[in-house]
């Protein structure tokens, strides 16, 4: 049922099992001994992006990393450095609506200027072509937002429309699985993730420039489903159903699935990018060989520039390997702005959308050959890499410590890995050798039929999602004014989010449902402190 990724089948089975099992129990198992027995494709050697050894560390540093990342068993007091969950870059600024928009505390003065330029471009409103503001035109022609900040509200979490016609921070992915031998080969060789709708492309865009109609409108209906916990408490979960109305060019292909996505928070992305692949792959156990019910799977993608295989880390299904690539795809897909990495001047317009393709684009030859030429993409990438993680709050409070104990004992930490030490050879010193507390393993997990979208994205099946980082989750209401969680915002609070867990998260979910109210409240207090 669950498809293992190819590389794992070539890793020495005994060592891989040992690493996975021992790391989960807090022991070191000679990661340096794990070797790939054969390349993923003929003629390929082990890519740096899938390295299974931490060659950035000497023996002494390996020992230090092993000791500091060992799961705790002492819940009587906070762990050392636990408050600084983003390492030395943690923001100690006053907690307010701008808590997710601060720059990393350890970047240089010169880099602060680069960050602010990137911030200005992140907030920049693009306009349709032709325009007198030639450095800002090129919007669409079809689009979901006019600026990055329009989707990533205050650099935080998006939300469902909730009765408001504005669906800017939530959209629908459109895709079908491979059907022909050629398509299946493209998926296997990782030159494609899936296949878009032939008319509407890979994403439903509800907005358009003057003279063109948007593709359609996302429609959501909810069905309330009561869940009774062990102590008799009844919690109502809302099950969403998605459809599209006002389609501009006929029906969507019946083979295509609709996958709703709210925009994720932006903090700590540069630190997640610098977690060494060896530390991620060591936790993968796609065949559940240790029998603990958790079978995390790495998302392996092909780097669009080098052609090498590497780890997917970003996006709800871990389909994107880098922040730069994520930014480039968002420019082209969400705003319709071409850039050096995704030079699509008409965004997501397909061959079937002739009127869209006939619209003018915003390329200015004197500025470059795309609508957002370098250094625009460089600056937005730097900004996205250096949004600071806020410091923890109330780490020493009794109820928070009690909730942390429940978090561990319920099995939440099996996927929401508390801490890592980033690679020493990170390109930017600010992200180098930092102890961070993201509470994610960056792996794909089967979350059960209840959360399934039925849409394959590369290695991710329709039931699988990347473990979402939990740092900053307790500030969602302060920053974004809501508490909607999960990939489509169906959960209206943290309790509902936990109760939606199925599949590999079912055991932890059931343990939560069996807790007393005091224990449940303590777990929520812990999550709110992150």
Model pLDDT for residues 481-493, shown as the tens digit of each residue: 999 999 999 999 9
User: How many beta carbons lie within 10 A of that of residue 386, not counting itself?
Assistant: 28
Average pLDDT, the chain: 91
Q: Which of 31-40, 160-169, 184-193 has the lowest mean pLDDT?
A: 31-40
Is the confidence at residue 16, as pLDDT, over 70?
Answer: no
372-398 average pLDDT score: 97
Average pLDDT over residues 409-433: 98
Angstrom distance (rounded) from CA 40 to CA 38: 7
Angle of CA points 281, 284, 290, to nearest 5°: 135
Q: How confident is the model over 347-371, as a mean pLDDT?
A: 95
Distinct helix (H) and strand (E) counts, the chain:
15, 12
235 forms beta bridges with: 227
118 neighbors 443 (Cβ within 8 angstroms): no
pLDDT band for position 164 (50/70/90)? Answer: low
d(CA 370, CA 73): 54
Ordered DSSP codes for 392-444: PSSTT-HHHHHHHHHHHHTTGGGTS---EE--TT-SSGGGTT-EE-------E
Please report the pLDDT score of residue 5 as a whole number.
35
Angstrom distances, CA of residue 170 to CA of 159, 351, 523: 6, 25, 28
Domain boundaries along the sequence of the chain: 8-102+267-301+388-528, 109-266+320-385
pLDDT of 165-224, one tens digit each?
667 899 999 999 999 999 999 999 999 999 999 999 999 999 999 999 999 999 999 999
378-395 mean pLDDT: 98
The SS3 call for residue 224 is: strand
- What mean pLDDT is predicted for residues 472-483? 97
User: How far apart are the C-alpha atoms of 27 and 328, rounded to whole Å?
Assistant: 39
Predicted local confidence at residue 34, as pLDDT = 28
What is the rounded distance in angstroms from the CA atom of residue 346 to the CA atom of residue 356? 7
| Burial label, 223 (beta-carbon count in 10 A; 0-12, 13-18, 19+) | exposed
238-280 tens-digit pLDDT: 999 999 999 999 999 999 999 999 999 999 999 999 999 999 9
Whether the per-residue pLDDT at 36 is higher than 70: the answer is: no
Helices 323-330 & 376-385 angle (0-180, nearest 10): 120
Angle at 462 between CA 248 and CA 260, to 5 degrees: 40
Residue with tokens 């939990």: 470
Strands (DSSP E) contained in 89-231 are 142-143, 170-175, 207-208, 217-228
> Is residue 212 helix, strand or coil?
coil
Question: Does 25 have pLDDT greater than 50?
Answer: no
Burial of 96 (0-12, 13-18, 19+ CB in 10 A): exposed
pLDDT in tens, 136-150: 999 999 999 999 999
- Name the pTM for this structure: 0.91
Residue 81 to residue 70: CA distance in whole angstroms: 14
- Counting other chains too, the contacts that 102-107 makes at CB distance below 8 Å and 24 or more residues apart are 102/387, 102/388, 102/390, 103/386, 103/387, 103/388, 104/270, 104/386, 104/387, 104/388, 104/430, 105/388, 106/429, 106/430, 107/386, 107/428, 107/430
Cα(468)–Cα(317) distance, rounded to whole angstroms? 10
**Cα–Cα nearest to 468, from 414, 528, 416, 530:** 416
Q: Is 80 exposed, middle or buried (0-12, 13-18, 19+ CB in 10 A)?
A: exposed
Contact 443, 296 (CB under 8 A): yes
| CA gap 24, 34 in Å, rounded | 16
Q: What percent of the chain clears pLDDT 90, i.e. is strictly above it?
A: 88
Between CA 301 and CA 325 the distance in angstroms is: 12
At 134, the pLDDT band (50, 70, 90 cuts) reads confident
Phi, psi dihedral angles at 171 (to 5 degrees): -150, 175
User: What pLDDT sits at residue 170?
Assistant: 95
Those residues whose C-beta lies under 8 Å from the C-beta of residue 378, and which sit 6 or more positions away, are none
DSSP state of 297: B
Residue 231 has pLDDT above 70, yes or no: yes
pLDDT for residue 38 is more than 70: no
Helix (H, G, I), strand (E, B), or coil: what is residue 338?
Answer: coil
- Report the C-alpha dihedral over residues 194, 196, 202, 207, rounded to 10 degrees: -170
d(CA 527, CA 471): 9
- Which positions ≥6 away from 512 have C-beta within 8 Å? 410, 498, 499, 520, 523
pLDDT at residue number 31: 28
Grade residue 135 by pLDDT with cuts at 50, 70 and 90: confident
Q: Count other Cβ atoms within 10 Å, centred on residue 123.
A: 12
Average of pLDDT values for 418-445? Answer: 98
């Amino acid at each position: 049922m669950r498809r293992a990724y190819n590389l794992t089948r070539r890793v020495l089975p005994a060592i891989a099992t040992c690493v996975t099992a021992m790391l989960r129990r807090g022991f070191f198992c000679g990661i340096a001994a794990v070797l790939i027995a054969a390349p993923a494709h003929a003629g390929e050697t082990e890519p740096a992006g899938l390295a299974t050894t931490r060659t950035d560390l000497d023996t002494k540093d390996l020992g230090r990393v092993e000791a500091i990342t060992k799961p705790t068993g002492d819940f009587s007091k906070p762990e050392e450095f636990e408050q600084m969950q983003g390492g030395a870059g943690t923001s100690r600024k006053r907690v307010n609506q701008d808590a997710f928009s601060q720059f990393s505390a350890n970047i240089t003065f010169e880099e602060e200027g680069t960050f602010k330029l990137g911030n200005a471009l992140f907030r920049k409103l693009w306009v349709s072509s032709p325009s007198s503001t030639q450095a800002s035109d090129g919007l669409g022609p079809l689009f979901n937002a006019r600026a990055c900040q329009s989707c990533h509200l205050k650099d935080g979490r998006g939300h469902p429309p909730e009765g408001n016609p504005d669906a800017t921070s939530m959209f629908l992915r459109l895709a079908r699985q491979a059907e022909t031998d050629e398509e299946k080969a493209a998926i296997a060789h990782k030159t494609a993730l899936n296949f878009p709708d032939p008319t509407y492309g890979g994403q439903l865009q509800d907005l358009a420039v003057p003279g063109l109609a948007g593709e359609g409108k996302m429609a959501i209906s909810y069905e309330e489903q009561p869940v009774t916990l062990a102590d008799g408490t009844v919690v109502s979960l809302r099950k969403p159903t998605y459809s599209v109305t006002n389609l501009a060019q006929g029906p969507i292909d019946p083979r295509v699935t609709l996958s709703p996505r709210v925009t994720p928070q932006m903090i700590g992305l540069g630190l997640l990018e610098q977690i060494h692949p060896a530390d991620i792959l060591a936790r993968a156990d796609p065949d559940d060989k240790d029998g603990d019910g958790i079978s995390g799977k790495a998302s392996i993608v092909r780097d669009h520039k080098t052609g090498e295989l590497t780890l997917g880390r970003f996006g709800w299904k871990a389909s994107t390997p880098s922040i730069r690539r994520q930014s480039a795809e968002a420019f082209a897909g969400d705003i319709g702005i071409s850039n050096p990495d995704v030079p699509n001047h008409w965004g997501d317009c397909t061959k079937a959308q002739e009127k869209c393709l006939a619209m003018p684009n915003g390329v200015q030859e004197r500025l470059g050959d795309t609508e957002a030429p370098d250094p625009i993409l460089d600056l937005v990438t730097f900004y996205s890499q250096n949004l600071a993680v806020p410091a923890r709050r109330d780490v020493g409070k009794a109820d928070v410590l009690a909730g942390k104990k429940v978090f561990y004992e319920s099995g939440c930490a099996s996927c929401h890995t508390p801490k890592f030490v980033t690679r020493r050879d990170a390109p930017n010193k600010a992200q180098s050798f930092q102890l961070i507390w993201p509470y994610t393993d960056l792996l794909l997990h089967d979350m059960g039929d209840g959360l399934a979208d039925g849409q394959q994205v590369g290695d991710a099946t329709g039931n699988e999602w990347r473990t979402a980082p939990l740092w900053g989750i307790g500030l969602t209401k302060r920053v974004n004014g809501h508490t909607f969680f999960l990939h489509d915002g169906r959960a209206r609070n943290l309790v509902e989010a936990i109760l939606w867990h199925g599949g590999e998260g079912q055991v932890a979910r059931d343990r939560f449902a069996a807790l007393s109210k005091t224990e449940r409240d303590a777990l929520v207090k812990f999550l709110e402190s992150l």
